[in-house]
Structure 1
Amino acid sequence: MTDVGFATYTLGASSTGVAAYARGEIAWEDIALNAPVVEHVPPGEDVAFRLVAGDVPSAFEMTTSLPGSIAGVPVGSTYYLELWTSDIGFLNTGVTSAYVDLSWDAAISSAMSIDHGTIYVFFTSGAIAAGFIDELGGSTFSAVGIEPEWARVAVVELTADTEGIVTYALGESSTGVSALGRGVIPWDLVSLDVVATQHFLDCNDNGIPDDQDILDGTSEDCDGNGVPDECQADSDGDGLIDVCDLCPDDPDKTDPGVCGCGAADTDSDGDG
């Protein structure tokens, strides 16, 4: 391929010329010569797909500035993965068909449903399996997603099943990607995205990973088990969890002392 950009290929009159059966040589002024313009596009920079993870779906389906992804969510929570596309090449006519495969570790999260929104509403697709969605996407008859604009293709509802980091990766589908007036876009001209999200334990529901609470000193961990003390049993309500309280049923003592649990260590007659 030559340099990136547009190239015009021009036909001209040759010395030998053109002849037709039983008509002999054809005059050049009677011959139409075209001059096609061809776009030279660098690999991976014609159509782009991006993934965005969020606590809730974005309130918009078209934007010139993609929202940022959340870093993580608590185990057991629901969150959303948005699929966005944009026609980013030199000839931008809009993405009319957008179909990709989506894969991830099935042991960490589960896909519950797909919302195709109001743009790519024709021939919608997306077969959910464990750790995989086949042919996620849809089609439109409108010129959308023309750079710098991004158009949302679909939203996948997910559940954070277990603790860990899950990586969502886009892959080539069988149906492929098409642009308005340009047909199918080769996969080597399509940019596919990867996004990672952490699933963390959050027993006190403060939106911060439990281990970070302990590290920051906002939560105590007297038994060193990695679980904030406020999430463990404190039967007598004295502020010290049972496993660290030597008198777990005595709100006045955390240690048996001289007289044992349930009895105050006092010398009422002052005899020592």
Structure 2
Amino acid sequence: MQRAIDLNADLGESYGAWSMGDDEAMFEVVSSANVACGFHAGDPLTMLRSARLAVRHGVVLGAHPGYRDRAGFGRRALDVSVDELAAEILYQLGALDAIARTAGASVAYVKAHGALYHRLGADRSAADAVADALAGSAPGVVVLGPPGSALELAAAAAGIRYAREAFIDRGYLADGRLVPRGHPDALVHDPGRAADRALELVETGGIGAADGARVELAPDSLCLHGDTPGSVGIARAVRAALASAGHDVRPFA
């Protein structure tokens, strides 16, 4: 069955003289871009460049806030109170949105990064604090996150639209969690395999887990990581496979 699906990627993660990924190429392929907001990666100039690329290519812009953890690239769990967490997410969202508006864009959705993403998926109190903060300050913003999570429940309770995502280039465990980085099944590097996974997710709503079990996800958006080795080739293969199968790649927000 042909359907519409969003293709998102984590982008804008360069900082100063340090370059991460090929954003120029990735913005040509994706329909939504999760742009780092300066805490785990990114800086004001990179955010501006990302916003300009989004406008040029008709890509919807999303804020990609993380823990205040540049050294760990936001992938380390930090002991941050729920109030501080909510405030820091609003801070990052506001920074990107202000910069984006100078380029003629605005932030349409929020997707947390790394360890923060996993915390909001499991910690209902943190998820409630973030959802309530977004409802109060940015009620039109969509939240993008893991299916069936604490964050999805919190968004529903706060009256915020929620979009489910599935990862093309990351392996899954039987319980729906991602395979931890460092494990042999954590990352998908082969473009052909990634394309097959994208089609399976779009056409069946689920994917095979690392142990052979099936995980039902019903995604609204498929995610690629801009820092994955070979990410551009993977993204192009996925986009071509979706187009060949007649699926319409377009933003969820």
Structure with the greater relative contact order (CA < 8 A, sep ≥ 6): 1 or 2? 2
Instruction: Report TM bin, short chain.
Output: under 0.3
TM-score when scaled to structure 2?
0.25
Question: Is the helix fraction higher in 1 or 2?
Answer: 2
